[in-house]
């Protein structure tokens, strides 16, 4: 099939390369000329395991191209995938859909025959209907509109895309449904995991999935606070409830709060949609509020440890800046809030991340120093705060940490270290929702 993908961010680039891998002829379009030039020259602008191989192989074999010219990419396409950004609006909590409308208008004028225009961007209920109107106003050709929400996880995006747990196609046009089924047939050869539904249900499904996942995290973070107050260990509670098949063990990890380009903006957009219909999604709104509070927790613990508000003269090391392991994405990462709070309190902050140093620096400027090595970040530190659980942080050389640091305070934001072991080594250990071992 001939496919045009509009937007070459985390979603568009992975999707474009994934469709090309199954033999489709794919052109990826972006308005960012520097990004397109980089991609055309073989540079991959984002860090995502396995993506460089996938892009290079398909580009070399002539099935994957990059351009800023939308019209030739869309001409003759069977399917046009819209994967542009839908950030939080500047003046409210709803999604800003300007990129989608612009793409829609450009696609309408570029159609040369029937095509399915599918939104992979996360968009509020009703977007496909509005997109249909925009397309109809400018297109001289028949088309179908579909909602095809994307469920990939950054850090494991290629795997998720190539082996999807489910594919949702929201469409009310038989020709459109047939084309979308055709597109995804190679992805679901072992079991048909394609769910066809009406457009609005497809749009809502994506927000519902993210809201459910975000709520689980906030629920555990709130329980962790209570566990500390009552002398329980949230890790035992997590095992205790996760073994119930109705609950399941995934997404029950307490931590420094969720971040990323999706959960925070999507739960706000969902709550905003509900308000527009006179309804309050109180659970979803509470999950957002609990998360904002949680992002401030680790820095306030550090301040408490040092006996007050000011951290002047204190050196604090941060391990992990990306919002999750496996990505260079720091959008809404709790590390931003933590670094900001620590620096504001006067601490000298040195951070290390295996992939996100540049993206973090772009947001924080020089308020935080970036070390080139995880142990170098610890030089003379009074405290170490683990924010993102990259694999290399799971079993570090603790005696080396002990001798590199000036102080002894360890703040384990992911509960990945053994409190008793660290206490025996002379550290002051703080987890999330865990009792502090006696010293
Ligand atoms: P991104 O910001 O990384 O990429 C968006 C790209 O679209 C940018 O490169 C931008 O230059 C380009 N663009 C904007 N307007 C354009 C236009 N008119 N024509 C061509 N290109 C244009 O965004 P992302 O993280 O890939 O997310 C895209 C969408 O997918 C969002 O709606 C997001 O919520 C959703 N989503 C993201 C993820 C994720 O993990 N990142 C997962 C599922 C869904």
Which pLDDT band holds residue 427 (cuts at 50, 70, 90)?
Answer: very high
Instruction: Give mean pLDDT, residues 80-88.
Output: 96
Distance CA 419, CA 410 (A): 10
Separation of alpha carbons 256 and 386, rounded Å: 9
Average pLDDT of span 192-205: 97
pLDDT of 353: 98
Task: Specify whether domain 295-430 bears CATH 2.60.40.2890.
Answer: no
Region 65-87: mean pLDDT is: 97
Ligand 1 neighbour 6 (Cβ under 6 A): yes
**Which ligand 1 atom sits closest to the C-alpha of 84?**
7
Mean pLDDT of 160-168: 97
Q: What is the pLDDT of residue 45?
A: 93
392-422: pLDDT as tens digits: 999 999 999 999 999 999 999 999 999 999 9
pLDDT at residue 91, rounded to an integer: 65
- C-beta 221 within 6 A of ligand 1: no
The whole-number pLDDT of residue 93 equals: 76
Q: Spell out the residues 6+ positions from residue 90 whose beta carbon is closer than 8 angstroms to its own.
A: 96
Residue with tokens 């809404």: 332
- CATH code: domain 207-293 is 1.10.1040.10
Q: What is the mean pLDDT of residues 435-439?
A: 71
**pLDDT of residue 438 exceeding 70:** no
Distance from residue 411's CA to the centre of ligand 1 (Å): 34
Query: What's the mean pLDDT in 333-360?
Result: 97
Q: Quick one: residue 422, left, alpha or beta (phi over 0 = left, psi -120 to 50 = alpha)?
A: alpha
**Over pLDDT 90: what percentage of the chain?**
96
What order of strands is seen across the sheet that includes strand 79-82?
64-67, 25-29, 2-6, 79-82, 115-119, 143-147, 167-170, 194-197
Q: Take atom 43 of ligand 1 and give the residue whose Cα is closest.
A: 150
Model confidence at 128: pLDDT above 80: yes
The answer to whether domain 207-293 and domain 295-430 are alike in fold is no
Report d(CA 215, CA 205) in Å as an integer.
Answer: 15
Q: pLDDT at residue 439 above 80? A: no
Name the average pLDDT for the chain.
96
pLDDT digits (tens, 9 = 90+) for 320-335: 999 999 999 999 999 9
Instruction: Tell me, in angstroms, the distance from the centre of ligand 1 to residue 11's CA.
Output: 6
Residue to probe by mutation, ligand 1, list 48, 81, 85, most atoms within 8 Å of CB: 85
pLDDT in tens, 353-383: 999 999 999 999 999 999 999 999 999 999 9
Closest C-alpha among 76, 58, 64 to residue 36: 64
Cα–Cα separations (whole angstroms), residue 207 to 100, 150, 216, 245, 267: 17, 11, 14, 24, 7
In order of 205, 224, 249, 251, 419, the CA distances from 209 in angstroms are 6, 23, 16, 12, 34
pLDDT-derived band at 115, boundaries 50, 70, 90: very high
* Average pLDDT of span 198-210: 98
Pocket test for ligand 1, best of 17, 30, 73, 323 (most atoms within 8 A of CB): 30
Indicate whether 437 pLDDT > 70: no
Site to substitute for ligand 1 among 6, 9, 16, 86, most atoms within 8 A of C-beta: 9
Is residue 171 annotated as a catalytic residue, yes or no? no
Q: What is the DSSP string of 264-288?
A: HHHHHHHHHHHHHTT---HHHHHHH
Q: What pLDDT was estimated at residue 308?
A: 82
Question: How confident is residue 309, by pLDDT bands cut at 50, 70 and 90?
Answer: confident
Dihedral pair phi/psi, residue 299, rounded to 5°: -65, -35
For 248-270, b where at least 16 C-beta lie within 10 A, e where not — what string?
Answer: eeeebbbbbbbbbbbbbbbbbbb
pLDDT band for 260, please (50, 70, 90 cuts).
very high
Token output for 133: 């109107």
**Annotated catalytic residue: which of 199, 262, 370, 377?**
262
* pLDDT (mean) for 254-272: 96
pLDDT bucket at 390, cuts 50 / 70 / 90: very high
Atom of ligand 1 nearest to the CA of 12: 26
**Residues 90-103 pLDDT 10s:** 767 789 999 999 99
Long-range contacts of range 50-53, CB-CB < 8 Å, 24 or more positions apart? 50/158, 50/159, 51/13, 51/14, 51/17, 51/157, 51/158
- Distant-in-sequence, close-in-space partners of 99: CB < 8 Å, separation ≥ 6: 7, 84, 85, 86, 121
Distance between CA atoms of residues 363 and 412, nearest Å: 24
Under the banding of pLDDT at 50, 70 and 90, the label for residue 182 is very high
CATH number for the domain whose boundaries are 2-197: 3.40.50.720
Name the percent of the chain lying above pLDDT 70.
Answer: 99
Asked if pLDDT for residue 189 goes beyond 80, the answer is yes
- A 10 A CB-CB count for 311 gives 24
87 CA distance to ligand 1 centroid (A)?
9
Contact predicate 36/68, CB 8 Å: yes
pLDDT of residue 191: 85
Q: What is the pairing mode between strands 315-319 and 194-197?
A: unpaired
Tell me the pairing of strands 194-197 and 167-170.
parallel
Three-state SS for 429?
strand
For the chain, what are the domain ranges?
Answer: 2-197, 207-293, 295-430
Q: What atom of ligand 1 comes closest to residue 154's alpha carbon?
A: 40
**CA distances (Å), origin 90, targets 70, 215, 264, 347, 423:** 27, 24, 14, 31, 46
pLDDT, residue 90, reads 74
pTM assigned to the model: 0.94
């Amino acid at each position: 099939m001939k496919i045009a993908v509009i937007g070459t961010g985390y979603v568009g680039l992975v999707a474009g390369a994934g469709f090309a891998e199954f033999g489709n002829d794919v052109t990826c379009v972006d308005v960012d000329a520097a990004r397109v030039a980089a991609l055309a020259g073989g540079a991959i602008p984002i860090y995502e395991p396995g993506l460089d191989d996938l892009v290079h192989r398909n580009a070399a074999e002539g099935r994957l191209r990059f351009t800023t010219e939308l019209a030739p990419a869309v001409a003759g396409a069977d399917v046009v995938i819209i994967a542009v950004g839908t950030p939080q609006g500047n003046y409210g909590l709803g999604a800003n859909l300007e990129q989608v409308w612009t793409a829609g208008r450009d696609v309408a004028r570029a159609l040369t025959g029937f095509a399915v225009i599918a939104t992979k961007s996360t968009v509020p209920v009703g977007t496909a209907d509005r997109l249909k109107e925009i397309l109809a106003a400018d297109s001289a050709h028949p088309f179908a509109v579909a909602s095809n929400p994307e469920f990939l996880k950054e850090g494991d995006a290629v795997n998720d895309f190539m082996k999807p747990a489910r594919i949702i196609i929201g469409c009310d046009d038989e020709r459109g449904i047939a084309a979308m089924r055709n597109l995804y047939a190679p992805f679901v050869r072992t079991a048909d995991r394609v769910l066809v539904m009406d457009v609005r249900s497809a749009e809502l499904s994506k927000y519902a999935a993210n809201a459910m996942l975000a709520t689980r995290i906030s629920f555990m973070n709130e329980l962790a606070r209570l566990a500390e107050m009552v002398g329980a260990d949230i890790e035992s509670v997590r095992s205790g409830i996760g073994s119930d098949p109705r609950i399941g063990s995934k997404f029950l990890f307490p931590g420094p709060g969720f971040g990323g380009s999706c959960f925070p903006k999507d739960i706000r957009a969902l709550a905003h949609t509900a308000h527009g219909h006179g309804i309050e999604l109180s659970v979803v709104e509470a999950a957002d509020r609990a998360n904002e509070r949680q992002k401030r927790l680790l820095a306030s613990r550090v301040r408490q440890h040092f006996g007050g508000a000011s951290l002047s003269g204190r050196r604090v090391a941060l391990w992990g800046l990306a919002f999750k392991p496996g990505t260079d994405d720091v959008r809404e990462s709790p590390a931003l809030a933590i670094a900001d709070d620590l620096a504001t309190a006067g601490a000298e902050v040195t951070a290390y991340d295996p992939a996100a140093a540049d993206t973090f620096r772009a947001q924080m400027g020089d308020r935080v120093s970036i070390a080139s090595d995880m142990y170098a970040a610890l030089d003379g530190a009074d405290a170490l705060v683990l924010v993102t659980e990259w694999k290399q942080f799971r079993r570090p050389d603790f005696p080396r940490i002990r001798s590199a640091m000036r102080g002894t305070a360890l703040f384990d934001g992911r509960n990945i270290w053994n409190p008793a072991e660290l206490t025996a080594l002379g550290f002051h250990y703080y987890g999330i929702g865990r009792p502090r071992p006696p010293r």
